[in-house]
A and B are shown apart, each in its own frame.
Chain A
Amino acid sequence: MTEEQKYMQFEEYNRTTHRIGRSASVLMAVLLLGAPFMIGWHFGAMPDYGAVFRAYLAIGLVWMISSAAEFLLYFPMLGAGGSYMSFITGNIINLKLPCAINSRDLVGAKAGTAENEIISTISIAVSALVTIVILAIGVMILIPLQPVLQSPVLQPAFDNVVPALFGALAYKYYRGHLDIAIPPLLIMCVLFTFVPSLISSTSMMIIPSGAIAILLAWRKYKKNSGENS
Protein backbone atom coordinates (compact mmCIF):
# COMPACT_ATOMS: atom_id res chain seq x y z
CA MET A 1 0.00 0.00 0.00
CA THR A 2 1.40 3.41 -0.97
CA GLU A 3 1.63 6.29 1.53
CA GLU A 4 -1.16 8.07 -0.38
CA GLN A 5 -3.42 5.02 -0.11
CA LYS A 6 -2.60 4.69 3.61
CA TYR A 7 -3.48 8.34 4.12
CA MET A 8 -6.80 7.96 2.29
CA GLN A 9 -7.65 4.84 4.24
CA PHE A 10 -6.84 6.51 7.56
CA GLU A 11 -8.98 9.50 6.62
CA GLU A 12 -11.88 7.14 5.91
CA TYR A 13 -11.23 5.37 9.23
CA ASN A 14 -11.35 8.72 11.03
CA ARG A 15 -14.61 9.73 9.34
CA THR A 16 -16.24 6.43 10.38
CA THR A 17 -14.81 6.80 13.91
CA HIS A 18 -16.55 10.18 14.25
CA ARG A 19 -19.79 8.76 12.84
CA ILE A 20 -19.79 5.82 15.27
CA GLY A 21 -18.57 7.99 18.15
CA ARG A 22 -21.29 10.59 17.68
CA SER A 23 -24.04 7.98 17.33
CA ALA A 24 -22.78 6.11 20.40
CA SER A 25 -22.58 9.35 22.44
CA VAL A 26 -26.15 10.34 21.52
CA LEU A 27 -27.40 6.82 22.26
CA MET A 28 -25.73 6.81 25.68
CA ALA A 29 -27.08 10.29 26.51
CA VAL A 30 -30.61 9.13 25.67
CA LEU A 31 -30.23 5.88 27.64
CA LEU A 32 -28.73 7.56 30.70
CA LEU A 33 -31.29 10.34 30.81
CA GLY A 34 -34.09 7.90 30.03
CA ALA A 35 -33.14 5.38 32.74
CA PRO A 36 -34.27 7.55 35.72
CA PHE A 37 -37.68 8.06 34.06
CA MET A 38 -38.01 4.32 33.40
CA ILE A 39 -37.14 3.66 37.04
CA GLY A 40 -39.65 6.29 38.16
CA TRP A 41 -42.33 4.83 35.90
CA HIS A 42 -41.62 1.26 37.08
CA PHE A 43 -41.73 2.17 40.78
CA GLY A 44 -44.53 4.70 40.36
CA ALA A 45 -42.32 7.50 41.76
CA MET A 46 -41.15 10.01 39.15
CA PRO A 47 -38.26 12.42 39.89
CA ASP A 48 -38.96 15.61 41.84
CA TYR A 49 -38.15 18.22 39.17
CA GLY A 50 -37.97 21.08 41.67
CA ALA A 51 -35.34 19.22 43.69
CA VAL A 52 -33.43 18.37 40.51
CA PHE A 53 -33.44 22.05 39.49
CA ARG A 54 -32.28 23.26 42.92
CA ALA A 55 -29.49 20.69 43.17
CA TYR A 56 -28.44 21.36 39.56
CA LEU A 57 -28.06 25.06 40.32
CA ALA A 58 -25.99 24.20 43.40
CA ILE A 59 -23.54 21.75 41.87
CA GLY A 60 -24.52 21.01 38.26
CA LEU A 61 -23.11 24.26 36.87
CA VAL A 62 -19.68 23.49 38.35
CA TRP A 63 -19.71 20.10 36.66
CA MET A 64 -20.87 21.67 33.41
CA ILE A 65 -17.79 23.93 33.34
CA SER A 66 -15.58 21.04 34.42
CA SER A 67 -17.01 18.84 31.63
CA ALA A 68 -16.38 21.56 29.03
CA ALA A 69 -12.78 21.87 30.24
CA GLU A 70 -12.40 18.07 30.13
CA PHE A 71 -13.64 18.01 26.55
CA LEU A 72 -11.18 20.73 25.44
CA LEU A 73 -8.23 19.26 27.37
CA TYR A 74 -8.63 15.54 26.84
CA PHE A 75 -9.79 15.39 23.21
CA PRO A 76 -6.33 16.33 21.86
CA MET A 77 -4.62 13.98 24.32
CA LEU A 78 -6.79 10.92 23.73
CA GLY A 79 -7.47 11.17 20.00
CA ALA A 80 -10.93 10.84 18.43
CA GLY A 81 -11.68 7.15 19.11
CA GLY A 82 -10.18 7.28 22.59
CA SER A 83 -12.10 10.44 23.47
CA TYR A 84 -15.51 9.16 22.42
CA MET A 85 -14.97 5.98 24.44
CA SER A 86 -13.53 7.85 27.43
CA PHE A 87 -16.43 10.29 27.57
CA ILE A 88 -18.84 7.34 27.41
CA THR A 89 -17.11 5.17 30.00
CA GLY A 90 -15.77 7.88 32.36
CA ASN A 91 -12.99 7.58 34.95
CA ILE A 92 -10.74 9.61 32.65
CA ILE A 93 -8.38 11.33 35.06
CA ASN A 94 -7.75 8.35 37.33
CA LEU A 95 -7.63 5.68 34.64
CA LYS A 96 -8.17 6.26 30.91
CA LEU A 97 -5.79 9.18 30.41
CA PRO A 98 -2.79 7.74 32.29
CA CYS A 99 -3.47 4.37 30.67
CA ALA A 100 -3.41 5.85 27.16
CA ILE A 101 -0.31 7.95 27.88
CA ASN A 102 1.44 4.89 29.33
CA SER A 103 0.64 2.87 26.19
CA ARG A 104 1.79 5.68 23.95
CA ASP A 105 5.11 5.84 25.78
CA LEU A 106 5.44 2.05 25.78
CA VAL A 107 5.46 1.88 21.98
CA GLY A 108 6.96 5.33 21.41
CA ALA A 109 3.98 6.69 19.43
CA LYS A 110 4.16 10.40 18.68
CA ALA A 111 1.21 12.71 19.33
CA GLY A 112 -0.75 13.67 16.23
CA THR A 113 0.21 10.55 14.27
CA ALA A 114 -2.06 7.78 12.97
CA GLU A 115 -0.16 5.33 15.19
CA ASN A 116 -0.99 7.41 18.27
CA GLU A 117 -4.69 7.42 17.35
CA ILE A 118 -4.70 3.62 16.94
CA ILE A 119 -2.68 2.89 20.10
CA SER A 120 -4.76 5.29 22.18
CA THR A 121 -8.02 3.74 20.94
CA ILE A 122 -6.84 0.17 21.62
CA SER A 123 -5.55 1.12 25.06
CA ILE A 124 -8.74 2.87 26.15
CA ALA A 125 -11.01 0.17 24.70
CA VAL A 126 -9.09 -2.55 26.59
CA SER A 127 -9.08 -0.45 29.76
CA ALA A 128 -12.84 0.19 29.54
CA LEU A 129 -13.58 -3.49 28.87
CA VAL A 130 -11.38 -4.66 31.76
CA THR A 131 -13.18 -2.22 34.08
CA ILE A 132 -16.59 -3.42 32.85
CA VAL A 133 -15.60 -7.06 33.38
CA ILE A 134 -14.13 -6.43 36.85
CA LEU A 135 -17.19 -4.44 37.92
CA ALA A 136 -19.54 -7.10 36.53
CA ILE A 137 -17.66 -9.90 38.33
CA GLY A 138 -17.43 -7.73 41.44
CA VAL A 139 -21.16 -7.04 41.38
CA MET A 140 -21.88 -10.78 40.96
CA ILE A 141 -19.76 -11.71 43.95
CA LEU A 142 -20.28 -8.50 45.83
CA ILE A 143 -21.80 -10.00 48.92
CA PRO A 144 -19.03 -12.53 49.77
CA LEU A 145 -16.36 -10.05 48.64
CA GLN A 146 -17.67 -7.12 50.63
CA PRO A 147 -16.17 -8.00 54.05
CA VAL A 148 -12.70 -8.44 52.55
CA LEU A 149 -12.70 -5.29 50.44
CA GLN A 150 -14.33 -3.20 53.14
CA SER A 151 -11.97 -4.48 55.79
CA PRO A 152 -10.68 -1.42 57.70
CA VAL A 153 -7.12 -2.72 57.29
CA LEU A 154 -7.33 -2.38 53.48
CA GLN A 155 -9.14 0.98 53.41
CA PRO A 156 -5.98 3.16 53.36
CA ALA A 157 -4.89 1.32 50.20
CA PHE A 158 -8.11 2.03 48.33
CA ASP A 159 -8.39 5.56 49.72
CA ASN A 160 -5.02 6.33 48.15
CA VAL A 161 -5.32 4.89 44.64
CA VAL A 162 -4.92 8.32 43.02
CA PRO A 163 -1.82 9.41 45.05
CA ALA A 164 -0.26 5.99 44.30
CA LEU A 165 -0.85 6.55 40.59
CA PHE A 166 0.34 10.15 40.46
CA GLY A 167 3.42 9.41 42.58
CA ALA A 168 4.51 6.71 40.13
CA LEU A 169 3.78 8.90 37.12
CA ALA A 170 5.51 11.89 38.70
CA TYR A 171 8.82 10.02 38.72
CA LYS A 172 8.28 8.84 35.17
CA TYR A 173 7.44 12.27 33.73
CA TYR A 174 9.43 14.62 35.94
CA ARG A 175 12.81 12.99 35.46
CA GLY A 176 13.03 13.88 31.78
CA HIS A 177 11.32 17.25 32.10
CA LEU A 178 12.42 18.82 35.37
CA ASP A 179 12.63 22.27 33.76
CA ILE A 180 8.94 22.02 32.80
CA ALA A 181 7.82 20.28 36.01
CA ILE A 182 9.41 22.25 38.85
CA PRO A 183 7.75 25.69 38.32
CA PRO A 184 4.11 24.45 38.14
CA LEU A 185 4.78 22.07 41.05
CA LEU A 186 6.16 24.88 43.23
CA ILE A 187 3.36 27.26 42.25
CA MET A 188 0.72 24.62 43.02
CA CYS A 189 2.35 23.78 46.38
CA VAL A 190 2.37 27.48 47.37
CA LEU A 191 -1.19 28.02 46.09
CA PHE A 192 -2.68 25.03 47.93
CA THR A 193 -0.74 25.94 51.09
CA PHE A 194 -1.95 29.55 51.15
CA VAL A 195 -5.48 28.77 49.91
CA PRO A 196 -6.23 25.28 51.31
CA SER A 197 -9.90 25.60 50.31
CA LEU A 198 -8.73 24.99 46.72
CA ILE A 199 -7.83 21.39 47.61
CA SER A 200 -11.45 20.37 47.07
CA SER A 201 -11.25 21.81 43.51
CA THR A 202 -7.95 20.24 42.50
CA SER A 203 -9.35 19.09 39.14
CA MET A 204 -10.05 22.73 38.24
CA MET A 205 -6.45 23.68 39.11
CA ILE A 206 -5.18 21.36 36.39
CA ILE A 207 -5.96 24.13 33.91
CA PRO A 208 -3.56 26.81 35.28
CA SER A 209 -0.97 24.18 36.18
CA GLY A 210 -1.14 22.68 32.69
CA ALA A 211 -1.04 26.14 31.12
CA ILE A 212 2.19 27.00 32.98
CA ALA A 213 3.77 23.67 31.93
CA ILE A 214 2.72 24.17 28.29
CA LEU A 215 4.11 27.71 28.29
CA LEU A 216 7.46 26.43 29.58
CA ALA A 217 7.38 23.60 27.05
CA TRP A 218 6.75 26.12 24.26
CA ARG A 219 9.74 28.21 25.39
CA LYS A 220 11.89 25.07 25.49
CA TYR A 221 10.66 24.00 22.04
CA LYS A 222 11.36 27.41 20.52
CA LYS A 223 14.80 27.51 22.14
CA ASN A 224 15.68 24.03 20.82
CA SER A 225 14.28 24.85 17.36
CA GLY A 226 16.40 28.02 17.29
CA GLU A 227 19.53 26.09 18.26
CA ASN A 228 18.91 23.39 15.63
CA SER A 229 18.17 25.78 12.74
Chain B
Amino acid sequence: MTVIQQLNSPFMYMLCGAIVFIVALICVLFLVRAWKEGLALGIEKEKMRRVVVSSAAFTVLPSIGILLGVIALSGSLGVPWPWLRLSVIGALHYETQVAQAAAEAAGLSGLSASEMTLGAFSTICLLMSMCIMWSLILSAVFGKAYSKRLMKGRSAADAEKGSSGGGFGDLAMTAMFVGLISAYIGSYVGGLISGNGRFSFSGNWMPLAVAAAGALAMAVFVWLSEKKKYSWAESFSVAGSMLIAMIAAVALDLIF
Protein backbone atom coordinates (compact mmCIF):
# COMPACT_ATOMS: atom_id res chain seq x y z
CA MET B 1 0.00 0.00 0.00
CA THR B 2 1.46 3.41 -0.98
CA VAL B 3 1.63 6.34 1.46
CA ILE B 4 -1.18 8.20 -0.33
CA GLN B 5 -3.37 5.07 -0.21
CA GLN B 6 -2.79 4.89 3.55
CA LEU B 7 -3.71 8.58 3.89
CA ASN B 8 -6.99 7.73 2.12
CA SER B 9 -7.60 4.61 4.22
CA PRO B 10 -10.88 3.85 6.05
CA PHE B 11 -9.14 4.65 9.38
CA MET B 12 -8.46 8.21 8.23
CA TYR B 13 -12.02 8.66 6.95
CA MET B 14 -13.45 7.35 10.25
CA LEU B 15 -11.21 9.53 12.42
CA CYS B 16 -11.77 12.73 10.43
CA GLY B 17 -15.45 11.98 9.77
CA ALA B 18 -16.11 11.48 13.50
CA ILE B 19 -14.60 14.89 14.36
CA VAL B 20 -16.55 16.62 11.55
CA PHE B 21 -19.72 14.92 12.82
CA ILE B 22 -19.12 16.29 16.34
CA VAL B 23 -18.66 19.79 14.88
CA ALA B 24 -21.96 19.43 12.99
CA LEU B 25 -23.71 18.41 16.24
CA ILE B 26 -22.30 21.49 18.00
CA CYS B 27 -23.64 23.73 15.21
CA VAL B 28 -27.08 22.07 15.38
CA LEU B 29 -27.13 22.62 19.14
CA PHE B 30 -26.33 26.34 18.74
CA LEU B 31 -28.88 26.67 15.94
CA VAL B 32 -31.75 25.05 17.86
CA ARG B 33 -31.03 27.05 21.02
CA ALA B 34 -30.84 30.35 19.11
CA TRP B 35 -34.06 29.59 17.20
CA LYS B 36 -35.96 28.79 20.42
CA GLU B 37 -34.56 31.84 22.19
CA GLY B 38 -35.46 34.00 19.20
CA LEU B 39 -39.07 32.83 19.39
CA ALA B 40 -39.13 33.41 23.15
CA LEU B 41 -37.80 36.95 22.66
CA GLY B 42 -40.56 37.65 20.11
CA ILE B 43 -38.44 37.67 16.94
CA GLU B 44 -40.72 36.80 14.02
CA LYS B 45 -40.37 33.29 12.65
CA GLU B 46 -40.44 34.67 9.09
CA LYS B 47 -37.47 36.91 9.87
CA MET B 48 -35.41 33.97 11.15
CA ARG B 49 -36.47 31.85 8.18
CA ARG B 50 -35.18 34.57 5.82
CA VAL B 51 -31.86 34.52 7.66
CA VAL B 52 -31.64 30.72 7.21
CA VAL B 53 -32.38 30.91 3.45
CA SER B 54 -30.07 33.87 2.88
CA SER B 55 -27.20 32.33 4.88
CA ALA B 56 -27.54 29.01 3.07
CA ALA B 57 -27.59 30.73 -0.34
CA PHE B 58 -24.66 32.93 0.68
CA THR B 59 -22.59 29.92 1.74
CA VAL B 60 -22.94 27.67 -1.31
CA LEU B 61 -20.40 29.36 -3.60
CA PRO B 62 -17.65 29.98 -1.02
CA SER B 63 -18.12 26.35 0.13
CA ILE B 64 -17.43 25.11 -3.39
CA GLY B 65 -14.28 27.25 -3.25
CA ILE B 66 -13.38 25.56 0.05
CA LEU B 67 -14.05 22.17 -1.53
CA LEU B 68 -11.53 23.12 -4.20
CA GLY B 69 -9.06 23.72 -1.38
CA VAL B 70 -9.70 20.14 -0.22
CA ILE B 71 -9.13 18.90 -3.75
CA ALA B 72 -5.95 20.97 -4.11
CA LEU B 73 -4.47 19.51 -0.91
CA SER B 74 -5.77 15.98 -1.50
CA GLY B 75 -3.02 15.29 -4.04
CA SER B 76 -0.32 15.38 -1.36
CA LEU B 77 -2.19 14.86 1.94
CA GLY B 78 -4.98 12.51 0.86
CA VAL B 79 -8.66 13.46 1.04
CA PRO B 80 -9.68 12.96 4.73
CA TRP B 81 -7.17 15.29 6.45
CA PRO B 82 -7.76 18.35 4.20
CA TRP B 83 -11.51 17.64 4.55
CA LEU B 84 -11.16 17.81 8.34
CA ARG B 85 -8.87 20.84 8.31
CA LEU B 86 -11.18 22.87 6.07
CA SER B 87 -14.25 21.86 8.09
CA VAL B 88 -12.72 22.66 11.49
CA ILE B 89 -11.00 26.02 12.20
CA GLY B 90 -9.24 25.90 8.83
CA ALA B 91 -9.13 28.62 6.23
CA LEU B 92 -8.34 28.41 2.56
CA HIS B 93 -5.45 30.86 2.69
CA TYR B 94 -3.93 29.25 5.79
CA GLU B 95 -3.74 25.52 5.16
CA THR B 96 -1.47 25.41 2.14
CA GLN B 97 0.97 27.90 3.63
CA VAL B 98 1.37 25.97 6.91
CA ALA B 99 1.41 22.55 5.25
CA GLN B 100 4.16 23.75 2.91
CA ALA B 101 6.28 25.10 5.81
CA ALA B 102 5.75 21.88 7.80
CA ALA B 103 6.70 19.73 4.82
CA GLU B 104 9.93 21.71 4.36
CA ALA B 105 10.75 21.44 8.09
CA ALA B 106 10.09 17.67 7.88
CA GLY B 107 12.78 17.43 5.21
CA LEU B 108 10.65 17.32 2.05
CA SER B 109 11.33 19.72 -0.81
CA GLY B 110 7.69 20.77 -0.60
CA LEU B 111 4.17 19.40 -0.46
CA SER B 112 4.49 16.48 -2.79
CA ALA B 113 2.80 13.08 -2.91
CA SER B 114 5.89 11.39 -4.34
CA GLU B 115 8.08 12.47 -1.41
CA MET B 116 5.48 12.13 1.37
CA THR B 117 6.25 9.78 4.26
CA LEU B 118 3.96 8.80 7.13
CA GLY B 119 6.27 10.51 9.65
CA ALA B 120 6.25 13.73 7.61
CA PHE B 121 2.47 13.48 7.35
CA SER B 122 1.89 13.23 11.12
CA THR B 123 4.34 16.14 11.59
CA ILE B 124 2.42 18.25 9.06
CA CYS B 125 -0.90 17.35 10.75
CA LEU B 126 0.38 18.40 14.19
CA LEU B 127 1.74 21.73 12.96
CA MET B 128 -1.43 22.51 11.00
CA SER B 129 -3.46 21.93 14.17
CA MET B 130 -1.10 23.81 16.50
CA CYS B 131 -0.74 26.99 14.46
CA ILE B 132 -4.43 27.75 14.12
CA MET B 133 -5.43 26.70 17.63
CA TRP B 134 -5.04 30.07 19.34
CA SER B 135 -8.33 31.81 18.55
CA LEU B 136 -10.10 28.68 19.81
CA ILE B 137 -8.09 28.67 23.04
CA LEU B 138 -8.47 32.43 23.54
CA SER B 139 -12.24 32.24 23.09
CA ALA B 140 -12.46 29.34 25.56
CA VAL B 141 -10.35 31.14 28.18
CA PHE B 142 -11.28 34.80 27.71
CA GLY B 143 -14.50 34.70 25.66
CA LYS B 144 -16.90 35.08 28.56
CA ALA B 145 -14.96 37.88 30.27
CA TYR B 146 -14.42 39.73 26.96
CA SER B 147 -18.09 39.40 26.08
CA LYS B 148 -19.13 40.74 29.52
CA ARG B 149 -16.79 43.66 29.12
CA LEU B 150 -18.22 44.47 25.70
CA MET B 151 -21.80 44.24 26.99
CA LYS B 152 -20.90 46.46 29.96
CA GLY B 153 -19.43 49.08 27.64
CA ARG B 154 -22.51 48.96 25.47
CA SER B 155 -24.92 49.14 28.43
CA ALA B 156 -23.17 52.26 29.70
CA ALA B 157 -23.28 53.87 26.26
CA ASP B 158 -26.92 52.88 25.78
CA ALA B 159 -27.93 54.17 29.19
CA GLU B 160 -26.20 57.43 28.37
CA LYS B 161 -28.18 57.87 25.18
CA GLY B 162 -31.33 56.20 26.44
CA SER B 163 -31.65 53.48 23.85
CA SER B 164 -31.74 49.70 23.91
CA GLY B 165 -28.98 49.08 21.33
CA GLY B 166 -27.37 50.31 18.13
CA GLY B 167 -25.59 53.65 18.61
CA PHE B 168 -21.86 53.86 17.95
CA GLY B 169 -21.41 50.08 18.34
CA ASP B 170 -23.42 49.59 15.18
CA LEU B 171 -21.50 52.22 13.22
CA ALA B 172 -18.18 50.90 14.57
CA MET B 173 -18.90 47.42 13.26
CA THR B 174 -19.85 48.78 9.85
CA ALA B 175 -16.64 50.85 9.93
CA MET B 176 -14.59 47.78 10.85
CA PHE B 177 -16.08 45.95 7.91
CA VAL B 178 -15.44 48.93 5.62
CA GLY B 179 -11.81 48.87 6.83
CA LEU B 180 -11.55 45.16 6.10
CA ILE B 181 -12.89 45.57 2.55
CA SER B 182 -10.60 48.58 2.00
CA ALA B 183 -7.54 46.53 2.97
CA TYR B 184 -8.39 43.86 0.40
CA ILE B 185 -9.36 46.25 -2.40
CA GLY B 186 -6.19 48.23 -1.64
CA SER B 187 -4.14 45.05 -1.98
CA TYR B 188 -5.69 44.39 -5.43
CA VAL B 189 -4.80 47.93 -6.55
CA GLY B 190 -1.29 47.60 -5.13
CA GLY B 191 -0.95 44.17 -6.78
CA LEU B 192 -1.84 45.62 -10.17
CA ILE B 193 0.45 48.66 -9.92
CA SER B 194 3.44 47.19 -8.09
CA GLY B 195 2.87 43.41 -8.04
CA ASN B 196 5.71 42.83 -10.54
CA GLY B 197 7.98 45.61 -9.34
CA ARG B 198 7.13 49.04 -8.01
CA PHE B 199 5.04 51.07 -10.49
CA SER B 200 5.50 48.49 -13.24
CA PHE B 201 1.72 48.41 -13.85
CA SER B 202 2.11 44.80 -14.98
CA GLY B 203 0.80 42.97 -11.92
CA ASN B 204 -2.29 40.77 -11.65
CA TRP B 205 -5.30 42.80 -12.79
CA MET B 206 -7.79 39.95 -12.44
CA PRO B 207 -8.72 40.41 -8.71
CA LEU B 208 -9.48 44.10 -9.28
CA ALA B 209 -11.52 43.36 -12.41
CA VAL B 210 -13.46 40.61 -10.61
CA ALA B 211 -14.08 42.92 -7.63
CA ALA B 212 -15.37 45.58 -10.05
CA ALA B 213 -17.68 43.01 -11.68
CA GLY B 214 -18.95 41.99 -8.23
CA ALA B 215 -19.62 45.63 -7.32
CA LEU B 216 -21.45 46.22 -10.62
CA ALA B 217 -23.59 43.12 -10.12
CA MET B 218 -24.39 44.22 -6.58
CA ALA B 219 -25.46 47.63 -7.91
CA VAL B 220 -27.97 45.86 -10.18
CA PHE B 221 -29.28 43.73 -7.29
CA VAL B 222 -29.65 46.81 -5.08
CA TRP B 223 -31.52 48.58 -7.91
CA LEU B 224 -33.85 45.58 -8.32
CA SER B 225 -34.44 45.43 -4.59
CA GLU B 226 -34.85 49.14 -3.85
CA LYS B 227 -36.31 50.58 -7.04
CA LYS B 228 -38.19 47.61 -8.45
CA LYS B 229 -39.14 46.26 -4.99
CA TYR B 230 -38.16 42.66 -5.77
CA SER B 231 -37.70 41.26 -2.25
CA TRP B 232 -35.89 38.12 -3.50
CA ALA B 233 -33.13 40.31 -4.91
CA GLU B 234 -31.95 41.26 -1.42
CA SER B 235 -31.73 37.67 -0.17
CA PHE B 236 -29.64 36.55 -3.12
CA SER B 237 -27.73 39.78 -3.75
CA VAL B 238 -24.37 38.72 -2.30
CA ALA B 239 -24.41 35.12 -3.57
CA GLY B 240 -25.73 36.27 -6.97
CA SER B 241 -23.13 39.04 -7.28
CA MET B 242 -20.36 36.61 -6.41
CA LEU B 243 -21.56 34.13 -9.00
CA ILE B 244 -21.71 36.82 -11.70
CA ALA B 245 -18.24 38.08 -10.74
CA MET B 246 -16.83 34.54 -10.86
CA ILE B 247 -18.37 33.97 -14.29
CA ALA B 248 -16.78 37.28 -15.32
CA ALA B 249 -13.41 35.91 -14.16
CA VAL B 250 -13.78 32.90 -16.47
CA ALA B 251 -14.88 35.12 -19.36
CA LEU B 252 -12.05 37.61 -18.85
CA ASP B 253 -9.52 34.79 -18.67
CA LEU B 254 -10.83 33.33 -21.93
CA ILE B 255 -10.83 36.72 -23.69
CA PHE B 256 -7.45 38.11 -22.54
Contacts and interface: CB of A to CB of B under 8 A. Distances in A.
Interface string B180-212: 111111111111011100110001001110111
Interface string A113-143: 1111111011111111111101110110010
Given A165-B242, A206-B180, A95 B62 contact: yes
A81 B30 contact: yes
Interface residue SS majority, chain B = helix
Interface in A20-46: 20-22, 24-29, 31-33, 35-40, 42-46
Q: Report, as a range, how many residues of chain B touch the other chain.
A: 35 or more
B109 interface: no
Contacts of A73: 176
Contacts of B127: 51-52, 55-56, 60
B50 interface: yes
Interface residues of A, number: 160
Given A192-B189, A202-B184, A213-B178, A113 B165 contact: yes
A160 B55 contact: no
B55 A127 contact: yes
A32 B63 contact: no
A105 B31 CA distance: 19
Given A77-B173, A88-B23, A122 B143 contact: no
B34 A125 contact: yes
Contacts of B224: none
Interface string B22-66: 111011111101110110111100011011101110111111111
Please provide the 3 A-B residue pairs with the shortest distance between their CB atoms, ordered closest to farther: A192-B190, A188-B186, A167-B214
